[in-house]
């Protein structure tokens, strides 16, 4: 790339062509998102200022962003943000980038709250186990203002980012963030929950090396690796869930499609769960398993 006399339109075209040649997904969109990030503006403004010349500093900054993407760094870590549930979340390499399919957990949690807690004066208690960026708890909190939340993670760095996201979205006073392994942080709290949502690590260790470099080399292994067979956390959560759910409360978990069947078998085998179901995501594959603690 030459330094002089570049205007936005030409720079975008050349960059998109280059990214395409290097087989980077969505080359034009990538070129636009990274240029708008560099110029601290939005993509619409790029189009409105197509003939604007760029300074050398802007071009060299843009070039470093493009280089990072060429090394397969996810665009969201470069820009530091990801939209989820129409909210903007800060992300960094200490947390996984929230995925669109996880919005299904948010949707189901909101539905359950609606079904069980119609009167607005009730205050459902919701646990987000392995909160990462906080995307799930924060999204539900925005929709259910009367609910109170507990959000846990083993990673202190993730919790710190989740707290910042909660503050950004004005829900930090209703979410208690706690660090620890799975149920450890809540063992002594003497609370049961109306809803437990979790998107635990569920990639099998065997599949790990075959993941796209964007995921394998940049997202935290702690957030992805579900150990041999990928069911380690899913099993622990299904088994432990009954101790922490209120009667009639729902466990809502994300997993991979082939794990949903195994999870349902496990739920069936454990005395204490009643109604159970699995739900397909927007790509029409089973993604979420839900189980209700019997209302005794
Ligand atoms: C797949 S990520 C989900 C993050 C977020 N809930 C989302 O949906 O975007 C799993 C999260 O579980 C956390 N985690 C991994 N092992 C854990 C453990 N033993 N106890 C608690 N959290 C754990 C990871 O740090 C990570 O943030």
Nearest CA to ligand 1 atom 9: 98
What the block records as the tokens of 211 is 């993941």
Ordered domains of the chain (ranges, CATH): 8-71 (1.10.8.10), 85-293 (3.40.50.150)
- pLDDT category at 2 given cuts 50, 70, 90 is very low
Decide if 128 contacts 136 (C-beta within 8 A).
yes
**Could you report the per-residue pLDDT of 119-150, keeping only the tens digit for each?**
555 899 999 999 999 999 999 999 999 999 99
Higher pLDDT, 118 or 126: 126
How large is the average pLDDT for residues 151-166?
98
Spatial separation of the C-alpha atoms in residues 292 and 153, rounded to whole Å:
23
Percent of the chain with pLDDT over 70: 96
Decide if 47 contacts 1 (C-beta within 8 A).
no
Candidate from 65-69, 164-168, 189-193 with smallest mean pLDDT: 189-193
Q: 1 pLDDT exceeds 80? A: no
**φ/ψ bin of 72: left (φ > 0), alpha (ψ from -120 to 50), beta (otherwise):** left
Nearest CA to ligand 1 atom 27: 132
Which atom from ligand 1 is nearest to the alpha carbon of 184? 20
Ligand 1 centroid – CA 223 distance (Å):
5
Residue 222 near ligand 1, beta carbon < 6 Å: yes
**Of 103, 200, 256, 288, which is best to mutate to test ligand 1, by the most ligand atoms within 8 angstroms of its C-beta?**
200
Q: 118 pLDDT exceeds 90? A: no
**Could you report the per-residue pLDDT of 8-26, keeping only the tens digit for each?**
999 999 999 999 999 999 9
Q: 177 pLDDT exceeds 80? A: yes
Spatial separation of the C-alpha atoms in residues 10 and 51, rounded to whole Å:
9
Ligand 1 centroid – CA 170 distance (Å):
22
Residue 158 near ligand 1, beta carbon < 6 Å: yes
**Of 133, 138, 204, 223, which is best to mutate to test ligand 1, by the most ligand atoms within 8 angstroms of its C-beta?**
223
How distant, in Å, are the alpha carbons of 84, 155, 168, 177, 270 from that of 174? 19, 20, 13, 10, 32
**Could you report the per-residue pLDDT of 266-290, keeping only the tens digit for each?**
999 999 999 999 999 989 999 999 9
């Amino acid at each position: 790339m030459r330094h002089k006399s570049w205007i936005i339109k030409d720079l975008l075209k050349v960059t998109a062509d280059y990214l395409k040649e290097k087989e980077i997904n969505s080359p034009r969109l990538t070129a636009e998102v990274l240029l708008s990030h560099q110029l601290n503006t939005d993509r619409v403004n790029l189009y409105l200022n197509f003939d604007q010349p760029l300074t050398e500093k802007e071009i060299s900054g843009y070039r470093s962003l493009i280089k990072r993407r060429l090394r397969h760094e996810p665009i969201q870590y470069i820009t530091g943000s990801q939209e989820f549930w129409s909210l903007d979340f800060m992300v960094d390499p200490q947390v996984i980038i929230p995925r669109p399919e996880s919005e299904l957990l948010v949707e189901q949690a909101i539905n359950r709250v609606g079904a069980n807690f119609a009167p607005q004066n009730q205050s459902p208690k919701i646990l987000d186990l392995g909160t990462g960026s906080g995307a799930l708890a924060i999204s539900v909190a925005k929709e259910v203002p009367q609910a109170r939340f507990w959000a846990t993670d083993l990673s202190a760095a993730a919790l710190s980012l989740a707290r910042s996201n909660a503050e950004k979205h004005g829900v930090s006073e209703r979410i208690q963030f706690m660090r620890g392994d799975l149920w450890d942080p809540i063992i002594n709290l003497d609370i049961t929950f109306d809803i437990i949502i979790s998107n635990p690590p569920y990639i099998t260790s065997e599949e790990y090396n075959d993941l796209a470099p964007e995921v394998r080399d940049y997202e935290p292994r702690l957030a992805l690796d579900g150990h041999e067979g990928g069911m380690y956390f899913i099993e622990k959560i299904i088994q432990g869930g009954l101790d922490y759910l209120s009667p009639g409360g729902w466990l809502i978990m994300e997993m991979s499609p082939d794990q949903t069947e195994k999870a349902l078998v496990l739920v069936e085998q454990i005395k204490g769960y009643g109604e159970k179901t699995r739900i397909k995501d927007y790509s029409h594959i089973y993604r979420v398993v839900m189980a209700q603690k019997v209302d005794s």
